[in-house]
Amino acid sequence: QKEVEQNSGPLSVPEGAIASLNCTYSDRGSQSFFWYRQYSGKSPELIMFIYSNGDKEDGRFTAQLNKASQYVSLLIRDSQPSDSATYLCAVKDTGFQKLVFGTGTRLLVSP
């Protein structure tokens, strides 16, 4: 069973700080990685995707991928209370039939 592991949290950070969210995956052949944000009671929405080793930046968000370590992370700079949500890591399986989701990390940003 291919797995995606995340710490459930909550991860608490003060407003303006950097939030670091981490994810590990078991399928070494995985090529595509995604971060979704889900507000309570709402549907997931895509924040970023990353395919290559290294960093990918989009505004306040940076995704980091290390395929050798099977590790992907999301950094949120200048965290805002509106960033408080659950962040889901997802990995596209090698057969491309589905995204395998982690259970999510709950982020709380306090004013």
Partner 1 sequence: EAQVTQNPRYLITVTGKKLTVTCSQNMNHEYMSWYRQDPGLGLRQIYYSMNVEVTDKGDVPEGYKVSRKEKRNFPLILESPSPNQTSLYFCASRPDRLDTGELFFGEGSRLTVL
Q: Does 11 bind partner 1 (CB under 8 A)?
A: no
Choosing from 43, 52, 69, 82, the residue that interacts with partner 1 (CB under 8 A) is 43
Residue pair 48/66 in contact (Cβ under 8 Å)? The answer is: no
Closest CA to 3 of 102, 89, 99, 94: 102
Q: By rule CB under 8 A, what string of x and - marks binding of each residue 45-84 to partner 1?
A: xx--x-----------------------------------
- Listed in sequence order, the residues at least 6 apart from 70 whose beta carbon sits closer than 8 Å to its beta carbon are 24, 25, 26, 28
Residue ranges in contact with partner 1 by CB under 8 A: 8, 32, 34, 41-46, 49, 88, 90, 92, 96-99, 101-104
